[in-house]
Chain A
Amino acid sequence: MLPIQTALPLCEMLAGDVFFPQQASTIAPGVDKLFYFIFWVCVFFFVLVVGFMTAFLLKYRRKENFDASGPTHNTLLEATWSVLPFFIVCYMFYEGVIGYMDLRSAPESAYEIKVRAKKWAWEFTYPNGYSTNELHVPPNSPVSLLMQSDDVLHSLFIPAFRVKMDVVPGRYTKLWFDATVPGKYDLECTEYCGEKHSEMLAIVTVHNDRSEFDAWLAKASDVFGPVDRGEKTLAQVGSELALRKGCGQCHSIDPQKSKKTGPAWWGIFGEDHQFVDGTSAKVDENYIRESVLKPTAKVVKGYGGNMPSFAGQLKDREIDALIEYIKTLK
């Protein structure tokens, strides 16, 4: 299933499973099975309750001479309907705990990816230190996510894998899965985190096999290789970086200078900018560098100081690339 489909959404959804997106992890079938067990128990009790209700409404409609002498109490009946549901919920509880323990205990051998959540972007860092805003994983092997938040609570949710875990500032949280079906899936933030909570999305790519994943990682990590080989310009790499590092969440790059949380980038290089403290400065290489590493040093007039610092997250050459890219936006 492609993450974005526009045609006949409802029909398509009904053609599949009414309740669930595709099952794409080892735990998904178990979760769905338990869900459907509870579902049929619910259907049974619902039909029972509403069935009796309707029958009584029809049968005992008010008549002239009513008979108000039915039972007011029946110990056996009351005991039955107390104890029977008790056993059913015990079973649900038990199955739920078993499934939950699986969900929460990652195998030792899991491939570890670090996750940083910040308003309103995800950053995934692979063991070799490469980081990007997309989650790529090998198929049929356990992957664990070690998660951390820079600001407020977030929550990482991959519906197709049936996994979810809050990302809490000030502590690490963990989540793991074993993806079974190659393809692309949606990843969403499910803990309200402010203005663009609903746009804090990412794509999960499950590769066809391990070697394809390794090849992807090798190619992607080689950020400046294409520049050194003359296949790409530094500005092109900068534009990719702006995407990967989530700058685009807050800065627009179109000539109309459309408004976002931060100032638009179109044509700013060389301009004079006013700051909230009344000073001003020309947008040059040093200014951009400072904006990225110490955003609160000069806050542009008309904006809040909510740009996160990228100190320690961007290497010098990456900042160079971003500067080159911003220069081309005119």
Chain B
Amino acid sequence: MATVAEPMLAHKHEPEENYLTCSSGFLSWAMTLDHKRIGVMYLFAVTASMLLGGVFALLVRIELLTPDKTLMDHNTYNHMFTLHGAVMVFLFIIPSIPAALGNFILPVMLGAKDVAFPRLNLASFYLWVAGAIFFLMAIAMGSLDTGWTFYTPYSSSVISGSQAGGIVAAVFGAFILGFSSIFTGLNFIVTVHTLRPPGMTWFRMPLFLWALYATSVIQLLATPVLGITLLLLILERTLGIGVFDPALGGDPVLFQHFFWFYSHPAVYIMILPAMGIISELIATFSRRHIFGYRFIAYSSIAIALLGFLVWGHHMFTSGQSPLATVIFSALTFTVSIPSAIKVFNWLATMYKGSISLATPMLYAQSFIFLFTIGGLTGLFLGTLAVDIHLHDTYFVVAHFHYVMMGGTLIAFLGGMYYWWPKITGKMYNELWGAIGCLMVFVGFNLTFFPQFMLGSQGMPRRYYTYLPHFQGYHVISTIGALVLGTGIGVALATLLWSLWTGRKAPANPWGGVTLEWTCSSPPPLANFEKTPTVGDPYDMEQVKWDAKTESWIPRPVSERTGNSASH
């Protein structure tokens, strides 16, 4: 593809204003329609939620240091793990990459000025805020102890009991957050369809955009089911219509079907964007064209669609029919293959590359390590005979933390470090970035690896007290959690610190060739001064290192060999 037009990479002059400086004052943020400012607000909001969820997690881990009471009583503990799960899932992981990083990056990467519906975008943010307020109310009322899964009839018995307020607030909060998620998904889909600049064909879209697109499709199709389920749950209690509660003639297993029909695809809402980020990081920091571009793009879509067909694998012991169980097991294995191939593609991208171990790449490598463990341990859980033993034990807890946290959170941090210079215009300190990443990596493994053994030895999840012979692993896990917590603290502090002390970021500090690196850091309000020209998103030859400005600048077409973009 040597005929690619030269992308607009250079700015002869720095624009005077960027999106941060073009206006000021509270209302200029609160009422902004700029996707970048909305993205930044999301970034603060979801990071705050992560810290809140993290505090709950640490309290849970500290309680589990000893088999009996360490800090709190039964009920407090049950609230803590519920809040940890609910806050992390609904307020952090689901919106983290799509709503926060996606909002900022998607239009710029695509070469657009904004998302298709800027007002709707702001509305999504405020819906998120409203949902979060209901969650905080639930916490304040102190009565959310159902687990983040709200299984009936326990949840409905709590709703009808004296503690009704808290759980209704939380369920309603989740309902509203669902709308926020649906609107964001809709917005992204329309943006990708209608706002691509000339030359940005589907197969010139960076893989992060493919991932966000696939994610948006799931958000749009699956989230309404969650909304309806939560609504039914509330109606059952207020109007006494029997849907899930056997006392009213309902079926509790139906709730599980509905719930997982959303929540399993939600797992892919969480992981697909993370995989998208990793594709960008691996290519940029290996200075190699991504290996198997089309396959990775298609696999995102395949995962999104197949993800709708496997919800029953959460219910192998629930009393669903054996035939259904066998079918769900088979379908579950089919989803594992596209994920595995993505990992092989990332490795192949590093082959013969020119690898730099800047902090985002360290996170990308941690991702491969942890996600591989998370994915492989899924095989145990897909295999029926083995899952029966492992279901609802710490093995499952370890497995999904390796996927959700080792996957999504690590990719989120990697993405934050990668785009931080673009978002804020500041370079962070590499040494501290690396230290933070290392602590997160070590702490993470210490926390969650022992939980595999705990689980297969027979330690059930959501246990406040436990049999004394499990204590050894619990102690290691708790120590790990403290290291992990500190690591995340260091990682975030390093970023924040850069706002004061960081060197000014050049337009392209990493050598990325996707469009966001062609506009200045931070970008001007309208992103691009003139409509960008679009090349192959992974043709690394388009840029070269310039020692003078310590940044990557466009390489004149005459200097290119044209190899890297070939097939």
Residues of B with C-beta under 8 A to A128: none
Residues of A within 8 A of B258 (CB): none
Contact, CB under 8 Å: B154 / A35:
no
Whether B317 sits at the interface, judged by CB under 8 Å, is yes
A315: interface (CB < 8 Å): no
The answer on a CB contact under 8 Å between B252 and A168 is yes
Q: Which residue of the partner chain, among A18, A19, A170, A190, contacts B251 with CB atoms under 8 Å?
A: A170
Contact yes or no, A192 B151, CB < 8 A: yes
From A4, A57, A86, A152, contact of B337 by CB (8 A)? A86
Partner of A92, one of B383, B460, B462: B383
Contact A188 B379, CB 8 Å, known A153-B153, A164-B392: no
- State whether the Cβ of A198 lies closer than 8 Å to any Cβ in chain B: yes
B319, A171: Cβ atoms under 8 Å? Answer: yes
Least Cβ distance of B437 to chain A in Å?
Answer: 14
A111 to B388 Cα, complex, angstroms: 22
A-B contact count (CB 8 A): 292
> Which candidate, A45-53, A130-138, A281-289, is the interface stretch facing chain B?
A45-53
Query: Whose C-beta in chain B lies nearest to the C-beta of A88?
Result: B379
Interface range on chain A (Cβ under 8 Å from partner): 35 or more
The answer, yes or no, to whether B377 is at the interface (CB within 8 Å) is yes
0/1 per residue, A56-72, Cβ < 8 Å to B?
11001111001111111
Q: How far is the CA of A13 from the CA of B470 in the complex (A)?
A: 9
Q: How far is the CA of A51 from the CA of B465 in the complex (A)?
A: 40
Q: How far is the CA of A160 from the CA of B274 in the complex (A)?
A: 38
Please report the C-alpha to C-alpha distance between residue A166 and residue B253 in the assembled complex, in whole angstroms: 10
A70 touches B352 (CB 8 A): yes
Given A50, A71, A81, which contacts B341 in the complex, CB threshold below 8 Å?
Answer: A81
Q: How many angstroms from the CA of A61 to the CA of B340 in the assembled complex?
A: 25
Instruction: Please give, as numbers and ranges, the residues of chain B lying within 8 Å of A38 by CB-CB distance.
Output: 379-380, 383, 386
Q: Which residues of B contact A194 (CB under 8 A)?
A: 78, 145, 154
Q: By the criterion CB–CB under 8 Å, are B292 and A153 in contact?
A: no
Residue among B145, B365, B458 with most chain A CB within 10 A:
B458
Residues of A within 8 A of B391 (CB): 164, 190
Interface residues of B in 326-368 (CB under 8 A from A): 326, 329-330, 333, 336-337, 340-341, 343-345, 347-348, 350-357, 365, 368
Interface residue B238 (Cβ < 8 Å from any Cβ of A): no
Interface of B is mostly: helix
Q: Are A21 and B458 in contact (CB under 8 A)?
A: yes
For residue A86, which residues in chain B have a CB less than 8 angstroms away from its CB?
Answer: 337
Chain A residue with minimal CB distance to B346? A53
Instruction: Report the bound CA distance from A93 to B334 in whole Å.
Output: 10
A104 contact set on B, CB distance < 8 A: 322
Interface residues of B in 490-540 (CB under 8 A from A): 538, 540
**Contacts A62-B354, A165-B317 given: A68-B347 contact, CB under 8 Å?**
no
Which positions 6-25 of chain A face chain B at CB distance < 8 Å?
6, 9-13, 18-21
| A107 at the B interface (CB under 8 A) | no
CB distance from B161 to the nearest CB of A (A): 7
Q: Does B162 contact A (CB under 8 A)?
A: yes
Residues of chain A within 8 A of B34, CB atoms compared: none
Given A53-B365, A95-B383, A192-B151: A72 in contact with B352 (beta carbons within 8 A)? no
Residues in A with CB closer than 8 Å to B347 are 49, 52-53, 56
Task: Answer whether residue B406 sits at the interface, using C-beta atoms and an 8 A cutoff.
Answer: no
Q: How far is the CA of A185 from the CA of B345 in the complex (A)?
A: 47
- Whether a CB of chain A sits under 8 angstroms from the CB of B489 is no
For the complex, give the distance between the alpha carbons of A31 and B151 in Å.
Answer: 29
A87 vs chain B, min Cβ distance (A)? 11
B455-476 CB contacts (< 8 Å) to partner A: 456-458, 460-473
C-alpha gap A49/B337 in the complex (Å): 15
Report how far A304 CA is from B368 CA in the complex, Å.
Answer: 51
Q: Do B353 and A68 have beta carbons less than 8 Å apart?
A: yes
Bound-complex Cα distance A98 to B565 (A): 48
Query: Do B343 and A82 have beta carbons less than 8 Å apart?
Result: no
**Stretch from B6-14, B124-132, B199-207, B281-289 at the A interface:** B281-289
The residue from A3, A49, A56, A170 contacting B372, defined by CB atoms under 8 A apart: A49
Known contacts A41-B379, A56-B350, A188-B458; is A71 also within 8 Å of B337 by CB? Answer: no
Q: Is the CB of B246 within 8 A of A70?
A: no
Give complex CA distance A62, B561 in Å.
Answer: 19
Other-chain residue from A20, A74, A103, A188 in contact with B385 (beta carbon distance below 8 A): A103
A198–B341 CB distance below 8 A: no
Q: Does A186 lie within 8 Å of B563, measured CB to CB?
A: no
Bound-complex Cα distance A149 to B351 (A): 57
**Which residues of A are found within 8 Å of B551, using beta-carbon distances?**
none
B202 to chain A, nearest CB (A): 17
How far in angstroms is the closest Cβ of chain B from A42? 4
- A196 part of interface (Cβ distance < 8 Å): yes
Other than the given A31-B385, A63-B354, A95-B383, 17 more pairs (CB < 8 A) read A13-B473, A46-B376, A53-B347, A56-B350, A66-B287, A69-B564, A74-B348, A78-B292, A90-B333, A100-B388, A151-B157, A169-B246, A194-B78, A194-B145, A197-B462, A198-B460, A304-B162
A sample of 27 cross-chain residue pairs with beta-carbon separation below 8 angstroms, ordered by A number, consists of A4-B469, A18-B453, A20-B456, A41-B379, A56-B347, A60-B350, A61-B355, A67-B352, A67-B354, A69-B564, A78-B341, A89-B379, A90-B333, A92-B333, A93-B382, A100-B322, A100-B384, A100-B385, A152-B157, A153-B154, A163-B389, A166-B318, A186-B467, A191-B151, A192-B154, A195-B78, A197-B464
By Cβ-Cβ distance, the 8 closest A-B pairs, closest first, are A99-B385, A159-B458, A10-B472, A170-B246, A66-B354, A70-B352, A96-B383, A100-B384
